[in-house]
Amino acid sequence: MIASVLLLALLVVGVVVVVRAVAHRPGATAARTSSLRELFTYVLLLVAVLVTSTGTAGLLGQLLDRYATDGPLVTGSVEAARNGAFVVVGLPLGLLVGLVIRRALRDDPAERTSFGWAAYVTAGTVVPLVVAMVAVHDSLGWALGVDPENPRAVARAVVWSLVWLVHWRLDRALTPSDHATPHLLLGSALGLGTTVVGAVGTVGNSLDLAFGLQRDTFVDPQDQLRRAAATLLVGAGVWTLYWWRHASARPRGQFTDAYALAAGTLVGIVAGVVGTVWAVSDGLVWALGSPAAAGAVEHFRNTPHLLATAAAGALLWWYHTGLLARPVATARPGRDEAHRLRDYASAALGLLATCVGGVMLVVALVDALTRSVAVAGTPAANVALVAVSALVVGLPVWWLAWRTAQAACRTAPGPERASVTRRTYLVAVTGVGVLVAVGALIGVVYLLLEDLFAGALTLGTLRSLRYALGVLVVAAAVAGAHAALFRAERALRPHAVQRVRYVVLVGAGDPAVAHEVAATTGARVLSWPRTDGAGPVWSVADVARLVAASPGPDVVVVQTPDGLLAVPVDRQRGDVAAVTVPLVPPGPPAVPAPSADGGTVTTS
C-alpha cells in the first residue's frame, strides 16, 4: 500500500515538474500564475478520480472473480470494505469538485491555460494510461493462454481505460494545442518504450523458435513470443494514437526536440551499440576465440535478441534523428543547438564504446604478456575479440558524429566554437577523463606499492593492475586530446567577444535574433519584444558588431531613430534596493532648473 502511494506521489510530482516547466518557459504569455487554492482544487479532484477508479475497478474485479470464474474459496470483508469506502467517499467528492472546476473553465477562458488544469489533465491521462496498459497486457496474457485467469486485470483494464478516455477527450476539447504537448509526448514515450520492448521480444523469440534456440530454460519460447506480442500490441496502439495521430504533427520545439534526442540519440545509439557489440563479439569468439559453451545452440542463445535490439536501436536513431531535420518555425534554417546536441551526444556515446574497447585491448595485451602466471579465467583472445568488437562499432559512431561537428566548425567556426554544447562537450570529456585517470592512477600506484611493501613485486603484479592500467592509458589519452583541442579553440575566440557576458535586446521582435547573437558572441542574451508591434527587423551582424565593440561587461541594445545603440552597463553593480522618482508635471523642456523638491533620486 505504501509502495503504491509512493509511486503515485512520484508520478504526480513528475507530471507537475514537467507542466511547471511548460508554464514558465519564455513566450508562454498566456500562462498564468495559478494560486495555491486552484492547485489544491485540482489535486483534490485528481485524488478523488484516482480513488474512485481504484475502488470501482476493485469492486468490478471482485464481481467478475466471483461470478465469471470458479470464484473464491474464502471471502473476507477487507477488500469490499476498502473498495466501497473509496467509491462512497471519492465519487461524491469528485462530482462536487468537478462541478466547481467545470464552472471555472466555462466562465474564465484563461483557466484552460492555467498550470493547475494542465497538471491535472496530464496526470489524469498519463496515470490511467499506465494502469490501463499494464491491465490490458495482463488481460491479453490470459486471453492468449500464457498467464492464469485474471478477472481483476480485465476489470482494471475496463475502468481505467474509461477514465483515460474521459480525460483524453476533455484534454482534446479544452486544452490549447501548445499546452497539450507534454502530455502527448509523455504518452508517446510510454507507447514507444513498450513498442520497442515488445518488438524486440517478438522478433527475438520468433528467431529463437525458427533456429531452435531457447533463451530461458524454464519458460516455453511459444509463451515468451505470445507475451511479447501482447506487449507489442499494447505499445503500438498507444504510440500510434499519441505520436502518429497527434504529436508527430507538432512543429519542432524545446519539448519535441528533447523527445527526439532522448528516443533517437540516447536510447537509439545505446541500444544499437550494445546489441551490435555483443552480437559481433559472440560471432568473433565463436569463429576465432575459445567459446565457453559446448555447442552453437547454447553459445548463440542470446544472439537473436541482441540483433533485434541492435535493429530497434538503428530504427529509433534513424526515425528520431530525421525529426530534427525539420525546420523550426521560430528560427532561421540551419544548424541549431538541437543538432549540436545530437552530434555531440552521439560522439560522446561512440567515444564511450571506443574507450571500453581500448581498455579491453590493453587488458588483453597485458593478459597475453603475463599469461605464464595465469591459473584460470577468460582467455586473452576472447577479451581481445570483445575489444575489437567495441572498437569496430564505437569508432564509426564517434567518427561520423565528430566529422559532422568538425564540418560545421569549418563552415561556420564562430557559432560552432562559441556554442554551449561544443564547449560543454570538450570540457566534460576532458574533466571526466582527468577524474577517471586520477582514480586509475591511484589504483595502479596502490597495487604497485602493496606488492612492493610485501616484497612480492613480480609479473603477477603487472597482471593484477591490467584493468587499472588500461583505464589510465585510455582516460589520459582522451583527456589530453580534448584538453588540447579546447585550449586551441579558446585561443581562437576573439577577446572582445568574451568580454561581454550578458546582452539585453530591447525591442528585438524575432527570437531567432537572440539565438544568433548568443551563438555569435558567446554571451547570454535576453530579448524583450516590443508589445506595440512596431520596429524594424534587427540585423544580427549589426548587433554582433556593436556588442563586440562594446567595453562591457554587459550590454543593453536599443533601437533609436538613428539605428541601433549599444549601452555598456554592469549588471553586478545594479544592487539598488529601491529607487524613488517623484512625478514632475510635464512642462517646457527649456532649462532644467534645479529645485529642492522635484526630480530627486534617492537610493537606499
Site for another protein in 86-145 (CB under 8 A): 87-88, 91, 130-131, 134-135, 138
Q: In this structure, which amino acid lies at residue 244?
A: W
Mark residues 38-67: x for contact with another protein by CB under 8 A, - for none: --------------------xxx-xx-xxx
66-85 footprint of another protein as x/- string (CB under 8 A)? xx-xxxxxxxxxxxx-x-x-
Q: Distance between CA 535 and CA 205 in Å, rounded? A: 64
269-288 vs 303-323: helix crossing angle, rounded to 10: 150
Q: Nearest 10 degrees: CA dihedral of 348, 351, 357, 360? A: -70
Cell numbers for 435 = 577524474
Q: To the nearest whole angstrom, how small is the minimum distance from the Cβ of residue 87 to another protein? A: 6
**Side chain identity, residue 150:** N
Min dist CB 231 to another protein, Å, is: 14
DSSP string, 144-162: TTSS---HHHHHHHHHHHH
- How many angstroms separate the CA atoms of 407 and 429, rounded? 20
**Pairwise CA distance, residues 151 & 157, whole Å:** 10
Nearer residue to another protein within complex by CB, 218 or 453: 218
- Give whichever of 56 and 464 is closer to another protein, judged by the CB atom: 56
Closest contact distance (angstroms) between CB of 65 and another protein is 6
Minimum CB distance to another protein smaller for 59 or for 543: 59
Q: Which is nearer to another protein, 4 or 580 (CB)?
A: 4
Instruction: Name which of residues 222 to 261 contact another protein (CB under 8 A).
Output: none
* Beta carbon nearer to another protein, 57 or 564: 57
Cα–Cα distance, 278 to 307 (Å, whole number) = 9
Q: Which is nearer to another protein, 153 or 279 (CB)?
A: 153
Rg of the chain, C-alpha, whole Å = 31
- Residue pair 182/18 in contact by the 8 Å Cβ criterion: yes
Q: How far is the CB of 108 from another protein (least distance, A)?
A: 24
Residue type, 56: T
CB nearer another protein, residue 80 or residue 541: 80
* Nearest partner of 492 among 462, 460, 522, 528, judged by Cα: 522
SS3 annotation, 331-397: CCCCCCHHHHHHHHHHHHHHHHHHHHHHHHHHHHHHHHHCHHHCCCCCCHHHHHHHHHHHHHHHHHH
Q: What region does 364 belong to: left with phi over 0, alpha with psi -120 to 50, or beta?
A: alpha
- Residue 162 CA to residue 120 CA, distance in Å, equals 17
| Separation between Cα atoms, residue 317 and residue 403, nearest integer Å | 18
- Shortest reach from residue 177's CB to another protein, in Å: 31
Q: Minimum CB separation from another protein for residue 574, in Å?
A: 51
How many residues touch another protein under the rule CB under 8 A: the total is 42
Q: Which of residues 1-20 bind another protein (CB under 8 A)?
A: 1, 3-4, 7-8
> Are 123 and 46 contacting, i.e. CB atoms less than 8 angstroms apart?
yes
- Grid look-up 486485470 returns 153
C-beta of 3 vs 454, nearer to another protein: 3
Binders of another protein in range 467-526 (CB under 8 A)? none
Minimum CB distance to another protein, residue 197 (Å): 16
Neighbouring-strand partners of residue 580: 602
Q: Please say which residue, 80 or 445, places its beta carbon nearer to another protein.
A: 80
Minimum distance, C-beta of residue 4 to another protein, in the bound complex (Å):
3
Cβ nearer to another protein, comparing 59 with 348: 59
- The answer to whether the CB of 505 falls within 8 A of the CB of 514 is yes
DSSP state of 598: S
Judged by beta carbon, residue 35 or residue 75, the one nearer another protein is 75
Contact mark string toward another protein, 139..168, x via CB under 8 A: --------xxxx-xx--x------------
HSE-up of 20 (CA within 13 Å, CB side)?
Answer: 8
Which residues form the interface with another protein (CB under 8 A)?
1, 3-4, 7-8, 58-60, 62-63, 65-67, 69-80, 82, 84, 87-88, 91, 130-131, 134-135, 138, 147-150, 152-153, 156
